[in-house]
Structure 1
């Protein structure tokens, strides 16, 4: 059997469950503090939530119905499969704590759901909710994913994140100290960030008690402020070519702490929303090319970790 080049998320799930598990996205009707005026208006400059919400995820449908429609796709082929409710759209810890908890509990009452994955911002984890998740994680699988996006405050300001990198550090440390699986999400190639700056993300993230990490390339999406910025000043952006991005990701992985679990390297936005880059490649095809490049270079996760 070929030596593993990096820690795969699928292997992590296999180590936690005696059966196959699959994420099912849920849109529970949350918003964000930089959309409603608490931190800012308009949201992050790159964000259009249509790019990652499946067809069945609509807030006019109950959480039960979204789960049922999502699960029905897999149930026929994998009747023994169980599911993780993935609270994905917007900030899924933001709101009245009792209301937030009730949404989680609705998902957990669904018979085949065995855990939660919660996507959120690092400035939206109140102590009361973290305490609930700490207790919950002792009974079911819980992974909290923080949208870090960049480790440079000037970038975070430019993309209207409404928080600093220090907020990410604090949230990740608090969550991990509570015994909860803790993840981070990063966008590779944000405007103003050089290749060396992106590789510094790997160094900084490796210092944090992260369980998992998601990466994906910067994508310019229609009907976003970033798309308007690009149209006005395309020279202010570096959109990576596919092979160039693969080389960047290999370098990133080699600098990363060896035991961080890597869940994803690219994202696929709907064709009708995507402006650029247009690589025309599926996630599994990208992973195959990445592994081929890692074999060619004899690269492995953490080889250059200090």
Structure 2
């Protein structure tokens, strides 16, 4: 059939291994993440590493779409569930600790929060976002135990494999530090979802492709590809308004993402292909608010090329 999708890890027209497809195959129906705020902070904020945070983070530490942390976890979850149920009636849920660094606390605190989360109704997994330098041995052991009880994914921020960029954006760790943290998790067979960002200050096309190549070599369970968006009241906003760098154009972003997908092994689950900030805080790029258009353009470009995830593997 002429228009048949050549990518086997797809149940739709998508030419990459979508998170939705993976979860439906694993659990038999749609699964939805519910973002939670556990009240954690970050060593890049509290002074252990730095006090400024990453230059792109708002005061919510990448948790701009999470409820306030002073609301009990159970209530946060039920609020999220109510929103989801207005769109989908029959789904499973995955609590997602998103804001700040969610392993940066005593092990007793982590156990209290995460053990409660996996007991929430209709849940089939747990996602925990953290830094590669916040994975102490006791935390790794606990996460290993959790992974035997539920579908656990640890979301690990890389952003770039370029040490010069990591220093510029004030990540407070190197690429070698990231690999060390990643390997600790993989040694215990814990699912890892790597986060990368396209369009970081000072980076050119070849830098973004280098990061994708490094991810391909690491071969994680999953990957999130984010677009760099500039939010008000961040150091990044100051740099942008000063003219230190330009935001990516949509066409440039689409091409880069498609090129990156071609490098990635077919079995890496693609959890995200773009990103969007809170509209009231967004400075640029304004096209980032149209996520569906962006993903549709990625789909069209892959069809135009006759390409798909892993095409160059």
* RMSD of aligned Cα (Å): 1.6
Whole-Å separation in 1 of the counterparts to 2:86 and 2:168:
46
Equivalent position of 2:269 in the other structure: 261
Whole-Å separation in 2 of the counterparts to 1:49 and 1:261:
29
Structure 2, unmatched stretches of 5+, are 8-14
Give 1:10 deviation, angstroms: 1.1
Q: Would you say the 8 A contact 1:9–1:261 is kept in 2?
A: yes
Equivalent position of 1:69 in the other structure: 79
Whole-Å separation in 2 of the counterparts to 1:111 and 1:258:
33
- Give the counterpart of 1:223 among 216, 233, 255: 233
Q: Tell me the alpha carbon deviations over residues 51-79 of structure 1, each in whole angstroms, 9 at most, x when there is no partner.
A: 6433x610110101000110012235544
Equivalent position of 1:53 in the other structure: 64
Give 1:297 deviation, angstroms: 1.1
Equivalent position of 1:116 in the other structure: 126
Equivalent position of 2:280 in the other structure: 272
Whole-Å separation in 1 of the counterparts to 2:104 and 2:75:
22
Q: Would you say the 8 A contact 2:224–2:272 is kept in 1?
A: yes
Whole-Å separation in 1 of the counterparts to 2:134 and 2:119:
25
Give 1:3 deviation, angstroms: 3.0
Whole-Å separation in 1 of the counterparts to 2:88 and 2:267:
30
Give 1:81 deviation, angstroms: 1.6
State yes or no: 1:147 paired with 2:157. yes
Q: Secondary structure at the match of 1:272?
A: helix
Structure 1 runs, 4 residues or longer, greater than 6 Å off:
none
Give 1:164 deviation, angstroms: 0.7
1:138-177 equivalence runs, <5 A:
138-177=148-187
- Give the counterpart of 1:23 among 27, 33, 38: 33
Q: 1:76 to 1:198 in 2, by over 3 A?
A: closer
TM-score by length of 1: 0.94
Give 1:138 deviation, angstroms: 1.4
Q: Would you say the 8 A contact 2:129–2:155 is kept in 1?
A: yes
Q: Tell which deviates more after alignment, 100-109 or 73-82.
A: 73-82
Q: 1:240 to 1:280 in 2, by over 3 A?
A: closer
Give 1:188 deviation, angstroms: 0.4
Q: Would you say the 8 A contact 1:172–1:209 is kept in 2?
A: no
Q: Would you say the 8 A contact 1:173–1:209 is kept in 2?
A: no
Equivalent position of 2:218 in the other structure: 208
Give 1:283 deviation, angstroms: 2.3
- Give the counterpart of 1:288 among 289, 296, 305: 296
Whole-Å separation in 1 of the counterparts to 2:227 and 2:136:
30
Q: Secondary structure at the match of 1:68?
A: helix
Q: 1:173 to 1:15 in 2, by over 3 A?
A: farther
Aligned length: 302
Q: Would you say the 8 A contact 1:176–1:209 is kept in 2?
A: no
Equivalent position of 1:178 in the other structure: 188
Equivalent position of 1:2 in the other structure: 5
Give 1:300 deviation, angstroms: 1.4
Whole-Å separation in 2 of the counterparts to 1:124 and 1:269:
25
